[in-house]
C-alpha cells in the first residue's frame, strides 16, 4: 500500500525489517522458503524506484540465488528484469542484454507468453536493445496457470503414530516391509501404538516410503546434535547440486564425526552415497567401483534389491537417488536399453507410490530427465517426447522453472534427430538461456554441452 501511494522509502524500511527477522532462520525453514525470495523481489523493485541501484542489484542477486535453491526458479525471470533496470541505472549498459534474454526465455519456458512479449517491448523502448529470439516468438504457447500440488488424501486421526499405522494398512504393507532397513519391526509397532516417538531419521524415511511429507503431520523437536546433522546433510546436498565437490567433502567429513548420526542405517546409507558421488567426480569415465559403491549403499535398506522389480518397492529418497545413479551408469557405459528399463520402472514407482506431489517433485524431474535422455539414446524418439511433455507440464504447472531448461534441451535434441532442425532451434535457445540463468548453481559444464551440441547440429553460436 505504501509503495502504491509513492512512499517507497517507508515500504523499504518495512520489508527490510521483515527480512532481518527471516535471515537467521535455518536454510531449510519453510517460512523462509515461502517468503524470502518474494520479499527480496519487492525490495529490489522499491530500491530501483528510489534510485538505489547498487542495493537493488544486490537484492536481485541474493533473491535470484534463493529463488533458484528454494523456490525452484519461478521468480528468476522477474529478478533478471529488475537486474537489467539496476544495471541500466548504474550505466552498465553492456550487461543488460544477458539479463533481458534470461527474463525473456525464462518466461517462455514457463509459458508466460504475454510477459515474454512485454520483455521484448521493454528491451526495445527502455533499453534500446534487441536480441535474436531464435523463433521462440513463433511458438504458439497457451498460458498455463500454476496449480497447487496435490498433497494426497489426508488421514484423520488423533496421533502421528496412528496416522503411520493407518497409512501402512491402506498400502497393504506389513510392519516388516515398511521398517526394512530403517528400524526393527518392533520399534515401528511401538511408534504406531504411540509408545515411543522414534528418531527423526527413522520417521522421515518411514514417511518417505509412505509417500507423505512428515512436516504436514508432526512437529518434531530436535536435539541440538540432530538439528546440526540435518543442516549438514542438507548443505551437502546443496553443494552436490552446485557441483562443488570440494566443499561437499569438507562438510561430509564433519558429518562423519557425529556418532549419533551414524547410529541409523539410513544415515550410513547417505554417507556411503555421498562418498560414491565424490568417487565418481574424480573419474572422467564411468568406473565399475562406482556401481559397487551404489549397490553397497542401496542394500543397507533394500537388501533384496532386484532391478527387474523396482515398481514393487516402496522407496525412500536415498533409494531413489541410488537407483537413478545405478541406471545412469548403464546409460553412460553404452547400455541405454537397460538404463531405460530401470528408469521406466523408477518413474512408475514415483508416480504410483508418492501421492503427495510435493514429495514426488523432490525426485521426479531427475528421473524424468534421465528417462527421456535414455529413450533418446535408444532412438525411441516418440516415447522420449511423451515423457518430456509430461515432465514439462508437471514442472511448469507448479512453477518449477529450474528444471525446464533440461527438458527443453532433450526436446530440441529429439526434434533434431527427427529431422526437424528448424523446430528444434527455439528449444535449444530456451535450454541455453534458461541454463545460463542458473549457471552459478553448477550448470557451467552443462552449458558447454548445450553450446557444443547447438554448434554441431545447427551451426549457431549463442551469446
96-109 vs 404-417: helix axis angle to the nearest 10? 80
pLDDT digits (tens, 9 = 90+) for 414-458: 999 999 989 999 999 999 999 999 887 666 778 888 989 989 898
- Specify the number of domains making up the chain: 2
Residue 210 and residue 115 share a domain: no
Length of the chain: 463
Q: Are residues 18 and 111 in the same domain?
A: yes
Query: For residues 188 and 186, what is the distance between their CA atoms, to the nearest angstrom?
Result: 5
Predicted pLDDT at 24: 62
- Residue 284 belongs to some domain of the structure: no
Residue closest to 99 by CA, chosen among 126, 73, 80: 80
**Of 312, 369, 401, 359, residue with least CA distance to 103:** 401
In this structure, is residue 384 part of a structural domain? no
pLDDT digits (tens, 9 = 90+) for 96-135: 999 999 999 999 999 999 999 999 999 999 999 999 999 9
Domain that holds residue 212: 160-216
- With 0-12 / 13-18 / 19 or more C-beta atoms within 10 angstroms meaning exposed / middle / buried, residue 433 is buried
Residues of the chain with pLDDT under 50: none
Domain boundary among 194, 216, 238: 216
pLDDT in the model for residue 1: 52
CATH number at residue 183: 1.10.260.40
* pLDDT score at 17: 80
Asked if 91 and 204 sit in the same domain, the reply is no
What's residue 5's pLDDT?
53
Burial class (CB in 10 A: 0-12, 13-18, 19+), 85: buried
Are 128 and 188 contained in the same domain? Answer: no
The angle that helices 8-22 and 30-49 make with each other, rounded to 10 degrees, is 150
State the CATH number of the domain containing residue 110. Answer: 1.25.40
**Whole-model pTM?**
0.87
Residue 234 domain-assigned (yes or no): no
pLDDT for res 18: 77
Task: Tell me what pLDDT residue 197 has.
Answer: 86
Question: Please, what is the angle between helix 317-332 and helix 288-298, to 10°?
Answer: 160
CA atoms within 13 A on the CB side of 365: 21
Amino acid at each position: 500500500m505504501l509503495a502504491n501511494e509513492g512512499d517507497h522509502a517507508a515500504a523499504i524500511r518495512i520489508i527490510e525489517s521483515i527480512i532481518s527477522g527471516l535471515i537467521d532462520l535455518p536454510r531449510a525453514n519453510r517460512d523462509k522458503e515461502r517468503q524470502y525470495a518474494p520479499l527480496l523481489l519487492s525490495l529490489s523493485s522499491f530500491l530501483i524506484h528510489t534510485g538505489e541501484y547498487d542495493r537493488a542489484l544486490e537484492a536481485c542477486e541474493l533473491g535470484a540465488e534463493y529463488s533458484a535453491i528454494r523456490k525452484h526458479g519461478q521468480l528468476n525471470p522477474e529478478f533478471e528484469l529488475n537486474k537489467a533496470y539496476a544495471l541500466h541505472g548504474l550505466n552498465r549498459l553492456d550487461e543488460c542484454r544477458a539479463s533481458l534474454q534470461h527474463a525473456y526465455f525464462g518466461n517462455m519456458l514457463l509459458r508466460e507468453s504475454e510477459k515474454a512479449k512485454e520483455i521484448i517491448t521493454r528491451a526495445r523502448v527502455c533499453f534500446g536493445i534487441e536480441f535474436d529470439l531464435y523463433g521462440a516468438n513463433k511458438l504458439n504457447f497457451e498460458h498455463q496457470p500454476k496449480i497447487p500440488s496435490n498433497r494426497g488424501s489426508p488421514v484423520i486421526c488423533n496421533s502421528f503414530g496412528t496416522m503411520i499405522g493407518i497409512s501402512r494398512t491402506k498400502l497393504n504393507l506389513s510392519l516388516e516391509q515398511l521398517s526394512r532397513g530403517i528400524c526393527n519391526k518392533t520399534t515401528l509397532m511401538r511408534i504406531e501404538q504411540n509408545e515411543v516417538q522414534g528418531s527423526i531419521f527413522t520417521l522421515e524415511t518411514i514417511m518417505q516410503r509412505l509417500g507423505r511429507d512428515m512436516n504436514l503431520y508432526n512437529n518434531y523437536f530436535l536435539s541440538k546434535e540432530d538439528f546440526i546433522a540435518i543442516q549438514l546433510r542438507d548443505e551437502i546436498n546443496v553443494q552436490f547440486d552446485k557441483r562443488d565437490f570440494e566443499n561437499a567433502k569438507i562438510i561430509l567429513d564433519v558429518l562423519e564425526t557425529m556418532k549419533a548420526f551414524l547410529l541409523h542405517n539410513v544415515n550410513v546409507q547417505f554417507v556411503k552415497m555421498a562418498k560414491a558421488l565424490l568417487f565418481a567426480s574424480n573419474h572422467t569415465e564411468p568406473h565399475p567401483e562406482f556401481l559397487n559403491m551404489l549397490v553397497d549403499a542401496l542394500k543397507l535398506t533394500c537388501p533384496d534389491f532386484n532391478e527387474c522389480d523396482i515398481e514393487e518397492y516402496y522407496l525412500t529418497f536415498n533409494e531413489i537417488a541410488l537407483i537413478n545413479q545405478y541406471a545412469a551408469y548403464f546409460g553412460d557405459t553404452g547400455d541405454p536399453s537397460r538404463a531405460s528399463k530401470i528408469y521406466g520402472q523408477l518413474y512408475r514407482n514415483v508416480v504410483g507410490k508418492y501421492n503427495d506431489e510435493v514429495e514426488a517433485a523432490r525426485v521426479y524431474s531427475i528421473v524424468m530427465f534421465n528417462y527421456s535422455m535414455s529413450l533418446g539414446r535408444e532412438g525411441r524418439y516418440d516415447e522420449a517426447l511423451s515423457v518430456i511433455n509430461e515432465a514439462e507440464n508437471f514442472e511448469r504447472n507448479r512453477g518449477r522453472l529450474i528444471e525446464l531448461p533440461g527438458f527443453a534441451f532433450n526436446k530440441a535434441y529429439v526434434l533434431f534427430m527427427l529431422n526437424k532442425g528448424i523446430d528444434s532451434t527455439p528449444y535449444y535457445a530456451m535450454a541455453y538461456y534458461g541454463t545460463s540463468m542458473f549457471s552459478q548453481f553448477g550448470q557451467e559444464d552443462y552449458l558447454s554441452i548445450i553450446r557444443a551440441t547447438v554448434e554441431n547440429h545447427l551451426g549457431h553460436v549463442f551469446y
